[in-house]
Amino acid sequence: MKRFDGKVALVTGGSSGIGEATALAFAREGAKVVIAARREEEGVKVAKAIQAAGGTASFVRTDVSKEADITAAVAHAVKTYGQLDVLFNNAGIEGKNGPIAELSGVDFDATFLTNVKAVWLLMKHALPHLAKTKGAIVNNGSVVADIGMAGTTLYSASKGAVHTLTRTAAIEFIKSGVRVNAVSPGPTLTDMTGRMFGSQDNFRAFAKSAVPAGSPGRVEDIAEAVLYLASAPFVVGQLLTVDGGLTAQ
């Protein structure tokens, strides 16, 4: 029997990167997967890949900066598959980065709307359904919430908020039988990190020098950590760091 047989997982930002890898991993472990993302072509492609491999998946176009889209995504999961067992709060943006003096309130609001408010709203709207299944929430944080990295203040602060939301929601939600945890990825090779560093080659060079493991992480490494958190019954309110030893220095 697979870990998630009979379970339904909602993955936001599931059209690429860590979200795509996690959606595929949930499906391999037996889950019915709902991929919620803005990019329809890419999201449908992931759903079809799962279906082609014998799994069950559907796509729902979702902009997590809009509460109506959030409620629609949760409703789609429940209406389509009858329940909700896992929410992976993965969708996020890097936002505008640079020195604080060069950033605006508009930049701040845009980053926090998608990276923090959306996480809060998704947890809120998923809770009633997860309580019925004694399900789990995994939020996607980042090691930059815990270490200083110049020029990433808005992104780092938003991920710090995600870590705190995770701990607080974990204490609240466990009363309903719902576990909340977060994965905290270190340098991981994605389109986003390539954009943040100017190119993926620049990012690989940074990771080679900064990460004790000598290379950036793979999206599959983060996906495996998410599946662990979603299936570990006595893990509550924890941040699982997956960073190749970066923060152990």
C-alpha–C-alpha distance, residues 36 and 118, integer Å: 13
C-alpha–C-alpha distance, residues 71 and 99, integer Å: 35
In terms of Cβ atoms closer than 10 Å to its own Cβ (0-12, 13-18, 19+), residue 36 is buried
Length of the chain: 249
DSSP state of 33: E
Residue 51 CB coordination number (10 Å): 14
C-alpha–C-alpha distance, residues 57 and 11, integer Å: 11
205-212, Cβ contacts within 8 angstroms, sequence gap of 24 or more: 207/244, 210/246, 211/186, 211/187, 211/243, 211/244, 211/245, 211/246, 212/244, 212/245, 212/246, 212/248, 212/249
Residue 155 a catalytic site member? yes
Phi and psi based region of residue 13 (left: phi greater than 0; alpha: psi -120 to 50; beta: remaining) = left
Catalytic residue among 155, 166, 221, 223: 155
DSSP state of 241: E
DSSP state of 148: -
**Residue whose tokens read 């974990």:** 170
* Active-site annotation, residues: 155
